[in-house]
Amino acid sequence: MNPQNGYDVEDISVGMSAETAKTISEADILLFSAVSTDTNAVHLDEEYGKTTMFGSRIAHGMLSASLLSAVLGTRLPGPGVIYLGQSLRFKAPVRIGDTVHAKVTVKEVVVDKARVVLDTVCTVGGKVVIDGEATVMATSRARREAGK
């Protein structure tokens, strides 16, 4: 791994994986709401949350999904990666106090295009809350050397 550029595409192989975990706090939800401007009452108002199918407030789905971006940008492929696409399926709610584990696993590498396709999954207590697939452009040693 190159500390400035993460893993170059030439060093990535199918089956490699990386992960991170974060316990979701009240502050996380409030800050995410402020940054995203998503002030949906299901995220911010406990009384309203009690009237929903979830029975309480829930965290923004994209807050949990953002942990996948963190893994891609800091661990695999790491610094220098460019997001090209992401599919997401939200399977279960995340609540304040839940620890979300975000994991990415390489499923395809296209070295000549510097593309990597990864399975993405977020879990809470072993239960899948989000799954999907990401496509990214990784850094490339060959491309860096060709540009010199």
0.85 exceeded by pTM: yes
CA 17, CA 13: separation in Å to the nearest integer? Answer: 9
CATH topology of domain 9-22+60-146: Thiol Ester Dehydrase; Chain A (3.10.129)
Phi, psi of 33 (to 5 degrees): -60, -45
Q: What is the mean pLDDT of residues 33-61?
A: 97
- Read off the pLDDT of residues 64-119 as tens digits, 9 standing for 90 and up: 999 999 999 999 999 999 999 999 999 999 999 999 999 999 999 999 999 999 99
> Quick check: helix, strand or coil at residue 84?
strand
DSSP notation for 27-78: HHHHHHHHHH----HHHH-HHHHHTSTTSS----HHHHHHHHHHHHHHTSS-
